[in-house]
Amino acid sequence: MKKVFTLIAALILGFNLTAQTNEEVIVTPDSLHLYFHGCSPHGEIVTVTNHTSEDLVINRCYAENFIIEFLYEGENIAETGFIVPLGESVEFEVFATPTSKNEQDIFGTIYIDTDFGVYTIALYYETTYDIEENSVSFNVAPVPANDFITIIGENLGNVTIYNAMGQRVEEYEANGDHLSVSTSDYPNGMYFVRTANGEARRFIIAH
């Protein structure tokens, strides 16, 4: 059975078209920060909304580092194409399978090629790590993160950030239950926050 990966976090942005027009195509989730997690048996939803003055033709959908299935009512339109009628929104169920078989975290990009331009969704694929987060007593937000993270929890104490290789990146002493950390200089990728009591949470940086 092939591996598929579940999208678990994303922001929402609109996509402006060319400078010659105020017409708009909106792709939800946005062009950044799609987070796929290993070995989930179902896809997630991408919505394409046509606010232009004519039908929107999706020529094809493809991906960097991933094999993509772009399903409409069970039919994969990734290669056959699709028309989003004027003024309508269409939902697609998307599956992503990495083309590489090595078990490493990777980035990739979905390209939605339309006659109004190419719209992108950047992906981050995380391999499965043996970290139990359900009972952790603190939270990290936003997820994914860009310029900062906020860590909230009782008696955080000494807070350490590690990269995906387990290397310590920075260490802080939290005064109370709230700590803000600048991540603007962090490379894109996965990181871990560990508090004084040994609990850990992961987070993603995607600039």
Distance CA 102, CA 183 (A): 28
Nearest to 104 by CA among 130, 128, 131, 127: 127
CATH number for the domain harbouring residue 201: 2.60.40.1930
pLDDT value of residue 30: 59
- Residue 39 CA to residue 8 CA, distance in Å, equals 13
Residues 28 and 74 in one domain: yes
pTM: 0.57
Confidence of residue 57 (pLDDT cuts 50, 70, 90): very high
If asked whether residues 16 and 107 sit together in one domain, one would say: yes
Q: Determine the pLDDT at residue 42.
A: 54
Q: What are the backbone dihedrals phi and psi of residue 50, each rounded to the nearest 5 degrees, phi first? A: -105, 105
What is the predicted pLDDT for the residue at 68?
87
Which segment of 20-34, 102-116, 144-158, 171-185 scores lowest on mean pLDDT?
20-34
Q: What percent of the chain has pLDDT over 70?
A: 72
Is residue 25 in some structural domain?
A: yes
* Structural domain harbouring 190: 138-205
Clarify whether residues 56 and 117 are in a common domain: yes
DSSP, collapsed to helix, strand or coil, labels residue 86 as coil
Between residues 121 and 31, the one the model is more confident about: 121
Closest CA to 197 of 162, 156, 141: 156
Residue 112 lies in a domain: yes
Residue 165 one-letter amino acid: M
Q: What's the pLDDT score for residue 75?
A: 94
What pLDDT was estimated at residue 196? 86
| 164 pLDDT more than 80 | no
Q: How many domains does the chain have?
A: 2
Is position 182 within any domain? yes
Is 103 inside any structural domain? yes
Residue 174 has pLDDT above 70, yes or no: yes
Domain co-membership, 75 together with 166: no
**What is the mean predicted confidence (pLDDT) over 86-113?**
83
Percentage of the chain exceeding pLDDT 90: 38
Has residue 133 been placed in a domain?
no
Residues 35 and 121 in one domain: yes
189 by Cβ neighbours in 10 Å (0-12 / 13-18 / 19+) ranks as middle
Instruction: Calculate the average pLDDT of the chain.
Output: 78
Higher-scoring residue by pLDDT: 62, 103 = 62
Q: Are residues 103 and 154 in the same domain?
A: no
User: Are 21 and 117 in a shared domain?
Assistant: yes
Whether residue 132 lies inside any domain: the answer is: no
Same domain, 82 and 107: yes
- Confidence bin at 130 (pLDDT 50/70/90): low
66 & 164 share domain: no
A 10 A CB-CB count for 182 gives 10
Residue 26 · residue 15 · CB < 8 Å: yes
CATH code for position 89:
2.60.40.10
More confident residue, 84 or 122: 84
Same domain, 102 and 52: yes
Same domain, yes or no: 106 and 142: no
Model confidence at 120, in pLDDT bands (50, 70, 90)? confident
* Same-domain check for residues 159 and 120: no
Q: Is 15 inside any structural domain? A: yes
The reply to whether 195 falls in a domain is yes
CB atoms within 10 A of CB 109: 15
